[in-house]
Chains A and B, each alone.
Chain A
Amino acid sequence: MTTSTVDVKAPEQAPPPAPAPGRRRRFAVHFAHYKWLYLLLLPGVLYFAVFRYAPMYGVSIAFKDYVPFLGVNASPWVGFQHFQDFFANPDFGRLLGNTLILAFLNLGIAFPLTIVLALLLNEVRLSILKRTVQTLVYIPHFLSWTIVASLSFLLFALDFGPLFLFINSVLGTDIDFLSDPAWFRPLIVLQEIWKNTGWGTIIFLAALATVDQDQYEAAIIDGAGRFRRVWHITLPGIRSTIIVMLILAIGQMLNTGFEQIYLMTNALNREVADVFDTYVYFVGITQGAYSYSTAVGLFKSLVGIVLIFGTNALAKRFNQSGLF
């Protein structure tokens, strides 16, 4: 992973720092020299310009009182009104709390589990078994959340769902998992683990393949057991991958997954289920409060950016290579 970072950076570092006079010509020379690389870059730049940056123009409605009929330009400006309304809203604290709790649960449980699963798979020596298990754990990733939610509803259905019956008979309880607010988060995290853990192992498995095999031999000769080898060789070997994946995961952290949560919400668990994503949908799309919900979405993005830069800075401080 570290080597690949260097590869990407190489073209930028290669040209000598250009002094002020003749700068243009030097750039022309530089450009002519690397023209194929720039050509390769072009589709990516176009993609980001058209699909990522151009739509940002619409973000301006967060500062307007947008009426679809009037259009973006003709709608009146209202400044930070929508942000003020949002922060003063009694829902704000609840939404922030729910979003953060779910985000940290996903990050704290689902993320390490991915690594654990990758390590376990890596230790499987029987190739056919490893491949079979890999394929099986990838499959849930391709099911839509609607199907995952339907499965959960069937499995946990009150009075006849197999898991409802099983868990309640083991615990001797009478829990309605689908409407009990206390069970909402465990269910969400469980679904997330079931659906995405397997898929997430792919990158780690690739990283694990790059760990120097000689070190294992040396460790075995030194008498290190399996766990010591994992702890002292494997994990340090994929440390930079873990850091990069962690930073990316943190950037995505507040995207708690609209579909999943929307499908699992009902009147009894809404208290803990409402997150930014569902709130934006509920207020924005169903009530037509586009400006307000855009402001909420923008706030969410800002938090995401802060988190990404914060983690990156932390990673660097602890002497790890950050993402950028």
Chain B
Amino acid sequence: MIRRKLSLAAAVVTATALTLTACSGGEAPAADSSKITIMAPFLEAQPPSADGAVQQKLEELTGKDVSITWTPNASYEDKMNITLASSEIPQVMVVQGKSPGFVKNAEAGAFWDLTDKLDEYPNLKTTFPEVEKNASVNGKVYGVFRARNPIRSAVMFRQDWLDKLGLKAPETTEDLYKVAKAFTEQDPDGNGQNDTWGITVPKFGALGTNSPYDMIETWYGAGNRWTERDGKLIPSFETEEFLEANRFVKKMVDEKLINPDFATFDGTKWNEPFFNGKGGIIVDVDSRVSVLISLFKQANPNDFQNKVGFVGGLKGPDGELHTHPTDGYSGFLAVPKTSVRTEAELKNVLQFLDKMNSKDVAALLNNGIEGINFTVQDGKAAAIKPETPEGKAVATDIKSYAQLGTNVTGNNFYPVKQASDYEQEVFDKRVEVMAEDLKSAVYNPAAAFVSPTYVAKGAQLDNIVADARIKYLAGQTDEQGLKDAIKLWKTSGGDKVQDEINKLWQDSK
């Protein structure tokens, strides 16, 4: 079955690649330095058009004939692996993370090692060396990372409910419990019925996906994926704080402060209970604040303020603030050796990537085209209203083109001017809160390390614990069952992973 799927997918990819080369005249892409081929994911419903305004402007600014294979985000990892197995490999590939597939290919020599090469290029010499290290495979840099705000975790709540019940915004995990309980039991929507709950949690599978569970565990002091205890790195689920955090979440599940279908609830509908007044709290990345506000704004442009409140990380039971950062990057742009064969060709590609991170191209990828979809006001990009069809096309396209932005030297583009004063105020507060939380960030000390055993079977191993966590919360197993699963993780190969990670950690010191 897998063969059939693979060969089918390979045929599709090859066919697409063939069409692409056919468009560019059928020449081998590597031979011509004026052509750059890229494979990138798109997260919108449609990929941007190949002759849109953004594409033309991009080619004009970089002076290259750029052809991008847009691939649906949901199946990107599959397609990437299949593309690597094909003969039509792009010169630049967006790699979404250090997946086992990527690491295997990289270690077999599929990608250029850029460790000592990036510093020559002013826009690629990163100002966040720590993040570059996180994005490396045991110190080897295989791509230009795509920088992301390290602090993104936030607690969002219905401000109107909070005000109605006379509560204040949570500061500690205990406050979160109190607010969730009040939202569940004190009829915050005032309809006289017991039809609300506190926190909405959707179906979250794996460990380390910045899920609400992961965040609460970090707030409790369990660390972030890995944590240093007695001079050794251990997975955070082996800490006592992990169990405490899950007891806390389980208490909320048992008291029905969390939606009962948390194990199956569809994540794409996460906003709905919040917006419809069913569940009043969401624990997720802070960018959801803007999404929620625009939902309320769409429904009622005259009354959308003070519906959504938010705070950053919460203090744990120890009274300390341990905030939950990401690794600071979201994948990287790697250069395959099959399509870029010589140092000279690599130089050409890196020059292109350097250009891609220059101020004018970064603004194009992230803000759009000045005068068409935005104007600069007080150093901020303000959307042109009313939106013209051209402006709309550009605004839609850049949502995909932003995937090519690396911003390894910080954000070179204009910050977006929010649509109203209220939204600007909330946005500024977000920036402020996240900057404050950055000071207490608990980083994953093993982010840079890739253990061979983990590559071989890490995802299956982690599933043991991730599933047990959900089962424990749902009451299908007790705490002993959760502990047994952690033990099973260790005996099924986790111990080996731990040894390898610790060795890499010691070697890197």
Contacts and interface: CB of A to CB of B under 8 A. Distances in A.
Contacts of A286: 77-78, 459
B264 to A, nearest CB: 5
A176 B105 contact: no
Interface residues of A, number: 42
Given A289-B100, A293-B2, A268 B459 contact: no
A69 B109 contact: yes
Contacts, number: 117
B466 A267 contact: yes
Interface in A203-230: none
A277 interface: yes
Interface in A238-289: 255, 258, 266-268, 270-271, 277, 280-289
B263 interface: yes
A123 interface: no
20 contacts: A55-B4, A58-B6, A58-B7, A67-B105, A68-B101, A69-B109, A70-B108, A176-B260, A176-B264, A178-B264, A267-B263, A267-B471, A270-B463, A285-B77, A287-B99, A287-B460, A288-B104, A288-B105, A289-B100, A294-B2
Given A285-B5, A286-B77, A71 B263 contact: no
A279 to B, nearest CB: 9
A179 B263 contact: yes
B81 A267 contact: no
Given A267-B205, A267-B466, A287-B459, A71 B2 contact: no
Contacts of B285: none
B380 interface: no
A157 B266 CA distance: 11
B203 A267 contact: yes
Contacts of B260: 158-159, 176
**Main DSSP-derived SS at the A contact region:** helix
A198 interface: no
Contacts of A271: 467
Contact of B2 (A284, A287, A288): A284
Nearest to A301: B1
By Cβ-Cβ distance, the 7 closest A-B pairs, closest first, are: A288-B101, A69-B110, A68-B85, A267-B470, A158-B261, A68-B84, A67-B108
B2 A285 contact: yes
A200 interface: no
Contact of A268 (B85, B110, B263, B456): B263
A67 B105 CA distance: 6
Contact of B1 (A68, A157, A255): A255
A140 interface: no
A280 B470 CA distance: 23
Contact of B476 (A158, A268, A283, A284): A268
Contacts of B82: 68
Interface of B: 1-7, 77-78, 81-82, 84-85, 99-102, 104-105, 108-110, 203, 205, 260-261, 263-264, 266, 336, 338, 456-457, 459-460, 463, 466-467, 470-471, 474, 476, 488, 492
A137 B466 CA distance: 40
Interface in A276-320: 277, 280-290, 293-294, 297, 300
A71 B460 contact: no
A297 B6 CA distance: 12
Interface string A59-98: 1000000011111000000000000000000110000000
Nearest to A279: B460
B247 to A, nearest CB: 18
Contacts of A58: 3, 6-7
Contacts of B476: 181, 268
B467 A267 contact: yes
Nearest to A65: B104
Given A280-B1, A284-B2, A286-B77, A69 B338 contact: yes
Nearest to A91: B460
A181 B477 CA distance: 12
A300 B5 CA distance: 16
A288 B492 contact: no
Given A267-B471, A268-B471, A288-B101, A69 B460 contact: no
A283 B466 CA distance: 16
A91 B102 CA distance: 25
A82 B24 CA distance: 42
B305 to A, nearest CB: 31
Contacts of B85: 68-69, 71
